[in-house]
């Protein structure tokens, strides 16, 4: 998820007319970081013990 967000931000830099990619990219990075932190603390996410 984090990698996908970074990919979208790179596309947003290359294609500035697609401004919606900035928002989606940042949102994907934030969700990915939250899931990574919660998963690394040992909490189950969606019935799974690890997020990967």
Per residue of the chain (52 residues), what is the pLDDT tens digit?
889 899 989 998 998 888 898 999 999 999 999 888 887 777 776 666 655 5
Q: Whose CA is closest to 34, among 10, 12, 23, 26?
A: 26
How far apart CA 6 and CA 22 sit, in angstroms, is 10
Whether the predicted model's global pTM rises above the 0.85 cut? no
Domain positions in the chain: 2-40
Cα angle: 4, vertex 7, 8; to 5 degrees: 90
The Cα–Cα gap between 27 and 44 comes to 22
């Amino acid at each position: 998820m984090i990698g996908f967000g970074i990919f979208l931000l790179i596309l947003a830099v290359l294609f500035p007319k697609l401004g919606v990619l900035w928002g989606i990219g940042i949102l994907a990075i934030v969700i990915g970081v939250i899931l990574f932190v919660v998963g690394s603390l040992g909490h189950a996410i969606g019935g799974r013990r690890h997020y990967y």
